[in-house]
Structure formats: C-alpha cells, structure tokens
C-alpha cells in the first residue's frame, strides 16, 4: 500500500466533499464509507484483473456515493457492486446482442490515445449517467497510459481522455471545482460548467 497515494486521494476527496457541502443543496453528493479488502478482491476476481492501486485506494476510502449522488455531470459515483453490475450488463449485451460491435458502432469521435473499439471488458465504468460514463481504460492506444480515465458517450462510444490516471482525475476535478470552473445547475440537479444546460 502506498500511503502517500492514499493520503493524496483522501485529501482530494475531502476537497470535493467540502465544495459540494458549500455549493450545492445538502445531500447532492454523499460519499460512502470505504469498501472492504474482500469487496475489492471480489470485484477484481469477477472482472478477472487487478485494478490500479489508485482506484483500489479510492474504493477503500469511499465505495461510491451513499445516495446515488452524481460526481459532477459524469453521473452516479459507483460502488464496487454497481461497477460490476454495469460491466456484466455491457458484457452480456455484447455477447448476446452484439452491442458495441459491427458497423453500427463506429468510433468516429476519438480524441487522444484510445483504441478504436466501442467497448470491451478492459473498459470499466466508474460513473453512470444514463449510459454516459467516466471509464477506466486498462488497454489504451499507443501513447496512452493503462489506467487512464476516458469519457464514454452512450450514443457514440469513447470520446476523449479525461486524465492519465484515476488519482490525477480526482485531483483535476477538485482543482476545477475550487477554481470556479463548475457550478451547481438546479434544473439539471448536477454540477457542470456554467451554461451547460
């Protein structure tokens, strides 16, 4: 376990939680208690892979949102159980219905080092906004980093790299919130850049 990485994640989650407490209605995002080592291990066993250390640390601090709260506009911050549920749903849709495969699923809007694949089991949704998600990408294209976070659009598939790692993404979100780059948008019930809705 890397104590510095864990401390950095804890600090940045605290920054995000403080911003939400000060700038949104009470209960907009309530971070859950951490997952147990067994819960994280069960997720990894079901996925058939080991998660990056920063994501493992984060899940041990906060196992998603206690109230199905949204992390900015990226969607519900998922627990280990919900991460697995969505991953299995995508896998089953792909296997049973051909979802994400063939000419109907082109990846025409890629920006950055993302493989031109709509979805596969090495992309793991960490948030969910009605099919849109921030996903962990464990097999990037050349020039990318395994463990990068990518934006997934339910209509067009993967779009862009949000950050080179989960810990970098959380730090970036905390910075952007504190710099005033996002506001609470009452009509949408979530936090996003001003003028988004």
pLDDT in tens, 39-88: 999 999 999 999 999 999 999 999 999 999 999 999 999 999 999 999 99
CA nearest to 88, candidates 140, 132, 125: 125
Q: Tens digits of per-residue pLDDT, 87-123?
A: 999 999 999 999 999 988 989 889 999 999 999 999 9
Whether 178 maps to a domain, the answer reads yes
27 has a pLDDT exceeding 70:
yes
| pLDDT band per the 50, 70, 90 thresholds, residue 193 | very high
Number of compact structural domains in the chain: 1
CATH code of the domain containing 68: 3.40.1580.10
| Domain span including residue 147 | 3-185
- Residue 116 domain-assigned? yes
> Which residue would you say has higher pLDDT here, 1 or 179?
179
pTM assigned to the model: 0.96
**Is residue 195 assigned to a domain?**
no
How confident is the model over 13-31, as a mean pLDDT?
96
């Amino acid at each position: 376990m890397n104590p510095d990485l864990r401390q950095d994640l804890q600090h940045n989650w605290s920054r995000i939680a403080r911003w939400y407490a000060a700038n949104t209605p009470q209960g907009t995002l309530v971070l859950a208690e951490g997952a147990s080592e067994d819960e994280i291990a069960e997720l990894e066993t079901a996925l058939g892979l080991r998660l990056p250390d920063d994501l493992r640390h984060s899940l041990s601090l906060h196992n998603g949102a206690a109230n199905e709260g949204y992390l900015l506009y990226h969607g519900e911050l998922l627990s280990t159980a919900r991460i697995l549920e969505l991953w299995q749903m995508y896998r089953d849709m792909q296997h049973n219905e051909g979802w994400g495969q063939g000419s109907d699923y082109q990846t025409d809007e890629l920006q950055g080092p993302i493989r031109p694949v709509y979805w596969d089991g090495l992309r793991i949704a960490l948030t969910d906004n009605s099919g849109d998600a921030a996903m962990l990408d464990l097999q990037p294209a050349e020039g990318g980093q395994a463990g990068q976070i990518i934006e997934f659009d339910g209509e067009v598939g993967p779009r862009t790299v949000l950050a080179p790692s989960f810990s970098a993404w959380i730090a970036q979100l905390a910075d952007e919130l504190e710099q005033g780059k996002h506001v609470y948008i009452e009509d949408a019930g979530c936090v996003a850049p001003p003028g988004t809705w």
